[in-house]
């Protein structure tokens, strides 16, 4: 199969579109840039806390030329419990204008399922982050895409541990490809609706 973009031999297929590695990397970078710029998340001189070295590398590539006061924090424990990680950040939250998380589509969907199926049903950190301090840097991406992108940038990307929520997502994906994107969209709609109340 040929790359959808440049017609070189393709190596990867995303949502049944074949891509070569270099076009894939460009595409991912563009998608993150668009996500960050569209929401106008970052302003000059913002005090920014970035979680993890990979997110730091990506954000610096995107905001070239924009003067920010960036501090990095280890992402230890983030991947398996992003909600707990955010709760632990509460104390130092006020020191920053923005906090950038290595948050993927999987983190979003799994947390949503967890809240839907649990007793607490806390949706406060779900949805697009427009009115919030937290920026979910990799939310428009799937783990598979992020893995390729990270490798091209010299980082190793750790997938989430398999649990009942990732299993539900995998089952949905097999039956209805693209369902993950519909779920993300629904989460956004729900977050907006809850915010208006």
CA atoms of 66 and 44, how far apart (whole Å): 6
Q: How far is the CB of 6 from Zn ion (least distance, A)?
A: 3
Q: How far is the CB of 148 from Zn ion (least distance, A)?
A: 13
Residue from 1, 2, 6, 30 binding Zn ion (CB under 5 A) = 6
Give me the residue label for tokens 């579109």.
Answer: 17
- E strand residue ranges, 68-160: 69-73, 98-104, 134-138
User: Quick check: 25 and 76 in contact, CB under 8 A?
Assistant: no
By CB under 5 A, residue 1 contacts Zn ion: no
Nearest to 55 by CA among 101, 93, 98, 89: 101
Interface residues for Zn ion in 73-112 (CB under 5 A)? none
Q: How far is the CB of 62 from Zn ion (least distance, A)?
A: 21
Nearer to Zn ion, 5 or 166 (CB): 5
CA atoms of 179 and 113, how far apart (whole Å): 14
Other Cβ atoms within 10 Å of 53 Cβ, number: 13
Interface residues for Zn ion in 18-77 (CB under 5 A)? 20, 23
By CB under 5 A, residue 148 contacts Zn ion: no
CB-count burial class (<10 Å; 0-12, 13-18, 19+) for 145: buried
| Cα radius of gyration (the chain) | 17
Nearer to Zn ion, 24 or 111 (CB): 24
Q: How far is the CB of 3 from Zn ion (least distance, A)?
A: 3
By CB under 5 A, residue 141 contacts Zn ion: no
Nearer to Zn ion, 11 or 46 (CB): 11
Stretch that binds Zn ion, among 2-10, 54-62, 93-101, 150-158 (CB under 5 A): 2-10
By the criterion CB under 5 A, which residues form the site for Zn ion?
3, 5-6, 8, 20, 23
């Amino acid at each position: 199969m040929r790359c959808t973009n440049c017609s070189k031999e393709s190596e990867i297929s995303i949502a049944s579109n074949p891509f070569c590695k270099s076009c894939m990397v460009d595409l991912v970078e563009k998608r993150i840039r668009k996500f960050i710029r569209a929401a106008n998340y970052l302003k000059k001189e913002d005090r920014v806390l970035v979680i993890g070295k990979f997110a730091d590398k990506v954000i610096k590539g995107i905001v070239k030329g924009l003067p920010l006061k960036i501090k990095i924090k280890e992402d230890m424990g983030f991947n398996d419990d992003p909600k707990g990680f955010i709760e632990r950040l509460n104390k130092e939250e006020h020191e920053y204008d923005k906090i950038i998380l290595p948050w993927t589509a999987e983190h979003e969907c799994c947390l949503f399922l967890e809240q839907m199926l649990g007793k607490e049903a806390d949706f406060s950190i779900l949805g697009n982050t427009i009115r919030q301090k937290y920026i979910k840097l990799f939310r428009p991406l799937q783990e598979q895409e992020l893995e390729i992108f990270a490798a091209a940038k010299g980082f190793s990307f750790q997938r989430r541990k398999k649990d009942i929520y990732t299993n539900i997502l995998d089952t949905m994906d097999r039956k209805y490809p693209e369902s993950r994107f519909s779920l993300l969209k629904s989460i956004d709609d729900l977050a907006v609706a809850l915010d208006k109340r």
